[in-house]
Structure 1
Amino acid sequence: MPDEREAYLGIDLGTQSVRALLVTADGTVLGRGSAPLTGRREGNRHEQDPGDWWDGVCTASRQALKGPHRPRGLAVCGTSGTVLLTDTAGHPRSPALMYDDGRAADEAAQARGAGLRVQNTWALPKALWLMAKYAPTRHHTHHSHHPHLHLARPTPFRLAHQPDLIVTRLTGEVPPTDSSHALKTGYDLEQDTWPYESLAELGLPDGLLPDVVRPGTPLGEVSPEAAEATRIPARTPVVAGMTDGCAAQIASAALRPGSWNSVLGTTLVLKGAATTPVHDPTGVVYNHRAPDGSWLPGGASGVGAGVLTAAFGSADPTTMDARAASYEPSGAVAYPLLSRGERFPFNAPTASALLLGETANDADLWAALLQGVAFAERLCLDYLHHLGAPLDGPLTFTGGAARSEYWNQLRADILAREARVPEQTDPALGMAALAAHGTGAGPLPEVAERMVRITTTLTPDPHRTARFAEPYARLIDELTTRGWLPPPVATHAHARLSRDTTT
């Protein structure tokens, strides 16, 4: 049993900010900090300057460590599928292509043609796109250090996932990446290896991809130079992190088989726990691997709270929630995609946001968007059930939107199942727990359960659940008519309207 007074630092590289959280083994927050991030969006392009990440880490860490307490270890999470090119010393040589950047669709098709099950926004297609733009070369094969394979000649470039860059700055050494971030770059978690034959077919140069370790693996220690910039003490252990979705799952303590965490931030991510992988022939659901070797199935949708900011700017969410309560259900049914294309609960690159019907005013539109996200969330769970994923454990809400009491209850009602809300909903808490595990505090599920404090349990109101059944069914039919949702999935979702959704 670890000393509950010992503290751990979690760092979360989000879409809109960097967040740092210093927390004890029993979940007491000793310090927190944040720094804003900005990006460039244009059509299907979404970039960030990777230098801004380090500036944000310095600011957020210095805020979190203002007090006398010092961390025993730290871990870093990032947005899944965000990558850039660096040189061999880890210095950026390209902008960072963010998790939802969609310009590598042609490269994704190439990868699928080589037998790799990837989506258009995954990191592997972006790696191909980046190499073509920033490191164009005539590929000449040579004998690779991987036996029996011939890859393109070595390259002075390296592919880095978002946290890899920060770990390099913290430790002064280019680290191996963690298997969680490597998943969307094509890493085979079941075989625990890169698919070298397929990568050779795609012409990726030898040396581009990093070595891979399990999350929680020690990567090094904070250097004196990084200590001065961040206020993190020199020689603090740095352990391999996970993606932000997995970090939020740890922060919900949803690590026992059948448990699920719904992370509602800019977009929606569902992450569960299972003893075996959940296989999906369409590739919509993918499986991360926990440090203990168990499986974390899930998927990432294009809907989320980001649509509220896009539609309403700086409107006060509490005020709008109160006004939206008069519109249950809304006069319109929404599928509120933030940008073109959907990847979970169905794969439809051409899908776009839709609004069926008319809203009476801005409060009704706000209501339609809240309800539409919850409908998408329910469809995600229906699809997981269709695949045979275990759903009989607790459901936990995390992410920035979990601060909305109204939206939390609305989601529980539409989902027709009980939901829990932890005191802290920040992925940085999950990284603090992983840091504790990686420095010897015990198995991750136990560490997380000691650190995570559940403060609210939401019980669905069956009358409100019934009120939303018709608009949900209407949305299912529209998604099917448009050719986005496969008919067998639609049939399964319709059937679940009259059944217990917790089994």
Structure 2
Amino acid sequence: MQRDLVAGVDSSTQSCTVVLRRLEDGAVVAQARKPHPPTTPPRSEQAPEAWWQALVSALGELTTYLPRIAGISVGAQGHGLVMLAEDGLPLRDAKLWNDTQSAHDASILLDKLPQKDWAARTGSVPAAALTVSKLAWTERAHPGMVARARRIMLPSDYLLYRLSGRAATERGVSSGTGYFNPFTNSWDFALADLAVSDVDWEAVLPEIIGSSEGSGLVQHIDGLEALQGAVVGAGSGDNMTAALGMGIREGDVIISFGTSGTLYGRTTVGIKDATGSINGYADAADAFLPMITTLNSAKVTDAFRRVLRATTEEFDTLALATEPGARGVVLVPYLDGERTPNLPGATGILAGIRSDIEPGQIARAAVEGVICGLLEGGDYLASLGVERDGRLIVTGGASRSKAYRQILADLTGNQVWTCDLPEAAAAGAAVQAAAAAAGRHTTEIAQQWEPRYEIVAEPRERDAARMEEVRGAYRAALPLAQWRKE
């Protein structure tokens, strides 16, 4: 049977999604999804075996297509720490990107080396999210465990290792570890030593390969025998594969409204931000994907929908029927601590409440708070030279919300675009799989398979004059949420 399909996997915090695309033109043929165990900060951990079982189960729903799959690759949640023992089994559950227990350890790492040096060598500054901080936490909480590890890897590395048997990684996902240099595409063992000393990092860390390369072939897997022999891609972080799937160009600004929120752009220039507000990640090609990340995005409006006992549509209606600024009510949405700014112990603040408060004010303030927090980071990103003269693109689950779309358009004065590719991270992993299977570059295929875009919101002139007032009120409320840092 002809192998005319590729499989892209999005192994996110919430679930595993597999998208099959036609190798000839990228058309989506089928998809399947399986859930991951729920997790909530400050302690956020998952068993790597649960990711594997979800992947096997999702592929099992696509059995009839397996003999046609020429290549497979994985975009997965970044930063998560996977440590395998000699027998290949995890030493403990993986600490995830949104776990904040390592915040103290991140501050100790900054005592050992100035922020500017971390930024110059990795593009990022240690915070609770980065893998280097989780290594330090593990050594503090479980002395000697890191030294017992025979392999130390990231979630995408782990799944690809289970597929091919080869421990390999690439620049995009590794640029979120805190011990990888995205400017030279090499490990920085000395930085890993600052977290845990006396470890043979060269032996335990995966081999670095090109983002467009294959890392091997699928080995025999019980129940998935028909997949054996397919090319295994290099994998990457989910944001990096999403950028591939959406065909992001330099100048585009992408905002993802998922459980967490991200704002990023693609640039050929590496960003080195000593303040730690920007993570100067590499992309899954030959450029960079500088990004700001917030812990609190769609989960914020989900929480307030629950409080108001409103459906998604009802919540949107309430928010859009309320005037900009929510009649003085402002939400600083640090519900579960925050990553940008780095305030792991902070909580949300709802300010400006009066006795005549109405549900619409709360709904409007929740949406404005999430968006304003991301736009503050976007302004800083632009100040570092990242272009934003292209499209303003939204993605993620909450990007389908009419309220998020319209309020974003009003707050920025820009048209809001989205594409007909609901599973961008998985579809982008399929781009990577196609590159590995066909011996081509990810950028070439991403451009060839670029999805169809449409404008989903236009800024309303009647609200434009109020927008700077809204953002100013948000900035004025920020200090209220910053009193609790630990």
TM-score range, shorter chain: 0.7 to 0.9
Indicate whether 1:404 and 2:401 are aligned. yes
Shift of 1:286: 2.0
Partner AA of 1:223 in structure 2: Q
Indicate whether 1:384 and 2:381 are aligned. yes
Contact 1:252 1:261 in 2 (8 A): no
The one of 304, 311, 315 aligned to 1:316: 311
Contact 1:50 1:95 in 2 (8 A): yes
Q: Which residue of 1 aligns with 2:414?
A: 417
Partner AA of 1:478 in structure 2: A
The one of 243, 264, 269 aligned to 1:271: 264
The one of 159, 162, 179 aligned to 2:171: 179
Contact 1:71 1:236 in 2 (8 A): yes
Partner AA of 1:49 in structure 2: A
Indicate whether 1:294 and 2:287 are aligned. yes
Residue aligned with 1:282, SS: coil
Partner AA of 1:158 in structure 2: R
Query: What's the % identity of the aligned pairs?
Result: 23
Shift of 1:31: 0.5
* 1:128-277 paired onto structure 2 within 5 Å: 128-134=136-142, 136=144, 155-171=148-164, 173-185=165-177, 186-204=179-197, 205-206=199-200, 207-225=203-221, 228-229=223-224, 233-254=227-248, 256-277=249-270
Shift of 1:466: 2.6
Residue aligned with 1:439, SS: helix
Shift of 1:446: 3.3
Shift of 1:367: 2.4
Shift of 1:59: 2.0
Change beyond 3 A, Cα 1:82–1:389: same
Q: Aligned partners of 2:226, 2:17: CA distance in 1, in Å?
A: 14
Partner AA of 1:32 in structure 2: Q
Shift of 1:35: 0.8
Higher mean alpha-carbon deviation, 84-93 vs 259-268, is at: 84-93
Q: Which residue of 2 aligns with 1:356?
A: 351
Q: Aligned partners of 2:441, 2:362: CA distance in 1, in Å?
A: 45
Residue aligned with 1:184, SS: coil
Contact 2:6 2:21 in 1 (8 A): yes
Q: Aligned partners of 1:462, 1:175: CA distance in 2, in Å?
A: 54
Change beyond 3 A, Cα 1:44–1:290: closer
Residue aligned with 2:153, SS: strand
Shift of 1:447: 1.6
Q: Aligned partners of 1:129, 1:200: CA distance in 2, in Å?
A: 13
User: 1:441-475 CA distances to partner (integer Å, 9 max, x unpaired)?
Assistant: 64333322332322421332232333333121111
Contact 1:342 1:351 in 2 (8 A): no
Shift of 1:65: 4.9
Change beyond 3 A, Cα 1:64–1:403: farther
Residue aligned with 1:76, SS: strand
Q: Aligned partners of 1:374, 1:338: CA distance in 2, in Å?
A: 14
Change beyond 3 A, Cα 1:200–1:81: closer
Partner AA of 1:34 in structure 2: R
Q: Which residue of 1 aligns with 2:135?
A: 127
The one of 92, 110, 130 aligned to 1:94: 92
Q: Which residue of 1 aligns with 2:122?
A: none
The one of 2, 9, 16 aligned to 1:18: 16
Change beyond 3 A, Cα 1:90–1:263: farther
Indicate whether 1:452 and 2:447 are aligned. no
Contact 1:82 1:161 in 2 (8 A): yes
Higher mean alpha-carbon deviation, 213-222 vs 283-292, is at: 283-292
Q: Aligned partners of 1:449, 1:461: CA distance in 2, in Å?
A: 32
Q: Which residue of 2 aligns with 1:55?
A: 53
Can you give the 5+ residue segments of structure 2 that lack an aligned partner in the other structure? 119-124
Residue aligned with 1:34, SS: strand
Residue aligned with 1:74, SS: strand
Change beyond 3 A, Cα 1:338–1:31: farther
User: 1:319-359 CA distances to partner (integer Å, 9 max, x unpaired)?
Assistant: 3212322113224221222411332xx33444432222238
Q: Aligned partners of 1:438, 1:266: CA distance in 2, in Å?
A: 31
Change beyond 3 A, Cα 1:474–1:364: closer
Contact 2:212 2:285 in 1 (8 A): no
Q: Which residue of 1 aligns with 2:331?
A: 334
Partner AA of 2:303 in structure 1: A
Q: Aligned partners of 1:165, 1:177: CA distance in 2, in Å?
A: 9
Shift of 1:68: 7.8
The root-mean-square deviation of aligned C-alpha atoms, in Å, is 2.6
Change beyond 3 A, Cα 1:190–1:483: same
Partner AA of 2:385 in structure 1: G
Contact 1:248 1:263 in 2 (8 A): no
Instruction: Give the helix-richer structure, 1 or 2.
Output: 2
User: 1:101-156 CA distances to partner (integer Å, 9 max, x unpaired)?
Assistant: 1111232123223323311221111012224444527xxxxxxxxxxxxxx9x644
Shift of 1:291: 4.5
Shift of 1:374: 1.6
Q: Aligned partners of 1:233, 1:69: CA distance in 2, in Å?
A: 6
Q: Which residue of 1 aligns with 2:367?
A: 370
Partner AA of 2:151 in structure 1: R
Q: Aligned partners of 1:67, 1:202: CA distance in 2, in Å?
A: 44
Q: Which residue of 2 aligns with 1:488?
A: none
Q: Aligned partners of 2:481, 2:60: CA distance in 1, in Å?
A: 50
Partner AA of 2:221 in structure 1: E
Partner AA of 1:358 in structure 2: I
Q: Which residue of 2 aligns with 1:490?
A: none
Change beyond 3 A, Cα 1:335–1:483: closer
Q: Aligned partners of 1:358, 1:441: CA distance in 2, in Å?
A: 59
Q: Aligned partners of 2:13, 2:72: CA distance in 1, in Å?
A: 20
Q: Which residue of 1 aligns with 2:121?
A: none
Change beyond 3 A, Cα 1:354–1:481: closer
Change beyond 3 A, Cα 1:384–1:47: same
Change beyond 3 A, Cα 1:472–1:291: closer
TM-score, normalised to structure 1's length? Answer: 0.84
Change beyond 3 A, Cα 1:257–1:51: same
Change beyond 3 A, Cα 1:156–1:286: closer
Contact 1:32 1:65 in 2 (8 A): no
Higher RCO structure, 1 or 2 (CA under 8 Å, sep 6+): 2
